[in-house]
Amino acid sequence: MTPDDFFKYAKENGATMVDLKFTDLLGTWQHCTFPIETWDEGTFKEGVGFDGSSVRGWQAINVSDMVARPDPSTAAMDPFFAEPTVSVIADIVDPESGEDYSRDPRHVARKASEYLNKSGIADVCYVGPEPEFFIFDEIRYEQTQNRGYYEIDSVEGAWNTARIEEPNLGYKPSFKGGYFPVSPTDTYHDLRTEMVLQMQKVGIVVEAHHHEVGTGGQAEIDMKYEPLLDMADQFMWFKYIIKNVAKDHGKTVTFMPKPIFEDNGSGMHTHMSLWKNGEPLFAGDGYAGLSEMALHAIGGLLTHARAVLAFAAPTANSYRRLVPGYEAPVNLAMSKRNRSASVRIPMYTQNPKAKRLEFRCPDPSSNGYLMFSAILMAMLDGIENRIDPGEPLDRDIYEMTKEELDLTEKTPADLEEALDALADDHAFLTKGDVFSDDLIQTWIDYKMENEVLPPRLRPHPHEFFLYYDN
C-alpha cells in the first residue's frame, strides 16, 4: 500500500481520524491521533514529531525529540473507536541523523528479516505463535510500604464453587481441568469468537481458539503463520484486540505468564521455519523428518536459549512458570513429542511445508519484535556454525533420575540469570547490527533496575506466613 492507497482506503471506510501507533522497548503500543485532513503524502516521508523522553527504555530528556514515520502498508480500521479511525503503525527515526532509531523494536525485526535475506540461507522466516492468556472478572493489587497483595476473581475460578451466586450452577473448570470442555463449563466461547472476528477485520488469519488448561478463564487463540515482521505487527493487534473486547464485556485480560498459584501458566509456544524461493527448508530425512539445516538451527537455538530467554521470557513472573518438575519446558533439548523439552518438532503431519520447530519456553509478556528476531538470530548462528543440537529428550522426564536430568542444561532460574546470560552471550544478536549493543545494554539495565531489584527489596506475603511468628 502506497500513501495514495492509504488515503483511498481511509476515504472508502469513511475515516475522519488517523491513529498512529508504535511500540515501546518492552512491547506496549503507544498512540497519538490526528484529524485525517492534517496528513498528506509528505507525512509518510517526513513523519510526525513527538517527545520520546517518557517512552520506556528510550531517550533521555536532553535528546527527547523523535520522529514517527508511518508505514502505509500497515493501515487498518481500528475497531474500538466511536469515530471511524484508520490505524497505522510507525517506524521511529532520529530527527537529526534521519536514521532508524536503534531502540525501536520494529526496526530490529526489519533488520533481522533483511539479515536473513542477505545471508543467502533463506528469504523468509515464518513465525506462528500460540499465545495463551487469562480472562478475569476482577483484579485488585497494591504495593505500599505497609501492604502488598493481589486478589484475582473469575466466574470460572475453581475457588468459587461454594460462592453464593444465586444460583451457583457449579460449572467451573477445576485447577488444571480447563483443557478443553464444551459449554456450559467453557463460558467464554462466544467472547473468544468475538475476539477472533475482530482480528479478522484487521487482516489476521486465525486457525483456532479454545479454553486452556487453567481454571479462571485461561484461553488460547492461534494465528496462522506469517513472515516475521508481519507476525510481530499482528501480535500487537492481537493483544490490543483481546484486551479491548474483554473490557467491552466487563472483563479484564492478562498476558502475565503465571497469575494463578498452583495452576498452569500462560506460555506462547512459537513455531519457526525457514523458506527460500517458496520452498520449505526444514524438511528432510534426519531426526523427526528434519533437514540438516533445521537440526543446526535447533542447535543454535539450544546453545543460545538462555540468552534468548531474556527477550522470550522477559519478566520476573516468567520464571514462576519455568520451574522444573511442573511440566514446564525447562529442559534445553529437542524432542519429537515430549512437551517438557524446550524445542519440540510437531509430528501431526509429514507434509514438508508443515515441518518446523516449536520453541516452547517463550511467554506472551514478550515484545514480539525482539523475541522473534532473537530466536531467528540464534537459529542462523546454528546454521552458519553447523551446531549440533545434541541427543533428543524423548523419554518421560518423570521416569528419569535426577542424575540423568542433570545432564540436560536448564532454562534460567530467574530473570536475573537470563539477563546475565544475555550479557555474556549476545555476539550472535549483533551480527549485521540487527541488535545494537546499546539496545541490549539498555534492556539489561532497565530490567535490572525496574524488575529484578524492586521485588528483592520488598517482603513477600508468603514470608509472613513462614516467618512472622518465629
Q: Which residues are known catalytic residues?
A: 51, 130, 132, 212, 220, 269, 339, 358, 360
Lookup: cell for 306 = 538462555
* Nearest Cα residue to 341 out of 289, 396, 291: 396
Lookup: cell for 262 = 498452583
> Cell 498512540 maps to which residue?
31
Three-state SS at 334:
strand
* Nearest Cα residue to 272 out of 87, 127, 170, 79: 127
CA distance 465 to 470: 10
* Nearest Cα residue to 374 out of 294, 434, 451: 434
* Nearest Cα residue to 305 out of 273, 274, 332: 332
Is 420 exposed, middle or buried (CB count within 10 Å of its CB: 0-12, 13-18, 19+)?
A: middle
| HSE of 98, CA atoms in CB hemisphere, 13 A | 2
The DSSP code for 162 is T
Phi, psi of 123 (to 5 degrees): -120, -5
* Measured CA angle at 366 (ends 362, 369), to 5 deg: 110
> Cell 500487537 maps to which residue?
236
Three-state SS at 126:
strand
Query: Pairing state of beta strands 331-335 and 341-344?
Result: parallel
Query: Pairing state of beta strands 357-359 and 268-276?
Result: antiparallel
Three-state SS at 76:
strand
Three-state SS at 132:
strand
The DSSP code for 399 is G
* Nearest Cα residue to 417 out of 382, 373, 448, 442: 448
Is there a cis peptide before residue 412, judged by omega within 30 degrees of 0?
A: no
* Measured CA angle at 243 (ends 252, 266), to 5 deg: 75
Is there a contact between 57 and 25 (Cβ–Cβ < 8 Å)? yes
Lookup: cell for 312 = 522470550
Handedness of CA 431, 437, 438, 442 (dihedral sign): positive
